Amino acid sequence: MPAILSLACCAMLCGYRSYSAIAEWGRNYGARLVQALGFTHNPPCAATLHTVFRHVDRDTVEAKLGAWAEGIVVSTPVTPSMGEPAVALDGKTLRGSHKQGAPGAHLLSALSHHLGLTLAQQAVDDKTNEITQVETVLRQLVLRGRVVTMDALLTQRHVAQTIVDEGGDYVMIVKDNQPQLRADIELVFALPPAGDRQETARTVDIGHGRIEQRNITTSEALVGYSDWPGLAQVFELGRHVITQKTTEERVEVVYGLTSLNPERGTPEQLLDLVRGHWQIENKSHWVRDVTFDEDRSQVRCGNIPQVMAALRNTTIGLLRWAGYTNIAAACRRFAAQPDLALTLIGIKLEN
């Protein structure tokens, strides 16, 4: 199995996207590279890869790849400018894997903010949702000393309790699935209680044809009032986006809460954490869809969709770890120099 996973990662580093393309890579680049990966004879054909990926224990594959990513994150020095070590919980549906009206495979992942590495991933059955699987993902993570960010769906008491019990912290967005909590937070900022010291921060970004201003206000007013596990602060975050070409404006206000106290969770730091969570869309999902064509992949048999997604995650993580920011350009380079792919995964080629 290690040889097959290594083959798949090398092929994907060279831009080969499907299991049939992975088999082609093994044939195209000759015996020297294939033997270095651990194959004594011919590389596996597409049918063999289909069978292996369909029936392999997907949890074992995820655990091995996640352990590699965790090792990279732990060994990467954290600088003050990086802020708190953070992990984003985020779900993604593999749209191409749907069949006969049934939804496509849905995966809940945990990704490092700073490196974009996938630390854990769990399939979400179409009869359940992310809420039922989030505990499984959290159990696979080292939470102590880390901040976990998430969208509103996962803003649940048991999630907050698990994180703080394990020595971690959270930043949660609050929407209508927690109506009383949202109403309490809205009231804090609409009618600030007497003596409430609210702190603010603002950022302005110009790029991609847009001007985006973010304003955040924080408060400790609900500490001692709300029994939400670990609650230390609540916040109101406004986004004002202007499209420069059309001058169209869009205004959005979201509310949230965190277990970070004001010293560790300043307004500026909370802005960075929320923004880091939103950027996961670009660091992982966008690359998986655009560079690796994930949403158009119609593979749906057995465990293949999740295994292929895990391999894409690892490939993207390898390239980001190596310092590449343009993933598509990196794949073209590796296709031209396939020896680099083996070197990146730690295999030394004999001259």
What pLDDT does 348 receive?
A: 79
Chain mean pLDDT for the chain: 87
Q: Kindly report, residue by residue over 6-38, the tens digit of the pLDDT.
A: 999 999 999 998 889 999 998 887 778 888 888
What pLDDT does 98 receive?
A: 46
Secondary structure (H, E, C), 51-73? HHHHHCCHHHHHHHHHHHHHHHH
Give me the residue label for tokens 């106290």: 261
What is the average pLDDT across 191-209? 92
Q: Kindly report, residue by residue over 68-108, the tens digit of the pLDDT.
A: 888 888 877 766 666 788 999 988 876 544 454 545 578 89
Query: Percentage of the chain surpassing pLDDT 90?
Result: 50
Q: Is the pLDDT of residue 230 over 90?
A: yes
Query: Percentage of the chain surpassing pLDDT 70?
Result: 89
Q: Kindly report, residue by residue over 205-221, the tens digit of the pLDDT.
A: 998 888 999 999 999 99
Q: Report the alpha-carbon distance of residue 246 to residue 223 in Å, rounded.
A: 43
Q: Is the pLDDT of residue 122 over 90?
A: no
Identify the residue with better confidence: 305 or 276.
276
Which candidate, 200, 221, 203, 189, places its Cα nearest to that of 266? 200
Q: Report the alpha-carbon distance of residue 289 to residue 301 in Å, rounded.
A: 20
Which stretches within the chain are classed as H helix? 2-13, 19-28, 30-36, 46-55, 58-75, 130-139, 157-165, 179-190, 267-278, 280, 286-290, 304-321, 327-336, 339-344
What pLDDT does 32 receive?
A: 81
What pLDDT does 181 receive?
A: 97
Q: Is the pLDDT of residue 41 over 90?
A: no
What is the average pLDDT across 303-307? 83
Q: Kindly report, residue by residue over 234-273, the tens digit of the pLDDT.
A: 999 999 999 988 889 999 999 999 999 999 999 999 999 9
What pLDDT does 100 receive?
A: 47
All domains in the chain, ordered by first residue:
1-56+303-351 (no CATH), 57-302 (3.90.350.10)
Identify the residue with better confidence: 317 or 296.
317
Q: Kindly report, residue by residue over 150-171, the tens digit of the pLDDT.
A: 999 999 999 999 999 999 999 9
What pLDDT does 163 receive?
A: 98
- Beta-carbon count within 10 A of 278 CB: 13
Identify the residue with better confidence: 160 or 54.
160
Identify the residue with better confidence: 148 or 294.
148
Q: Is the pLDDT of residue 53 over 60?
A: yes
Q: Report the alpha-carbon distance of residue 50 to residue 304 in Å, rounded.
A: 7
Span of 8-12, 158-162, 279-283, 291-295 with lowest mean pLDDT:
291-295
What is the average pLDDT across 281-303? 66
What pLDDT does 282 receive?
A: 66
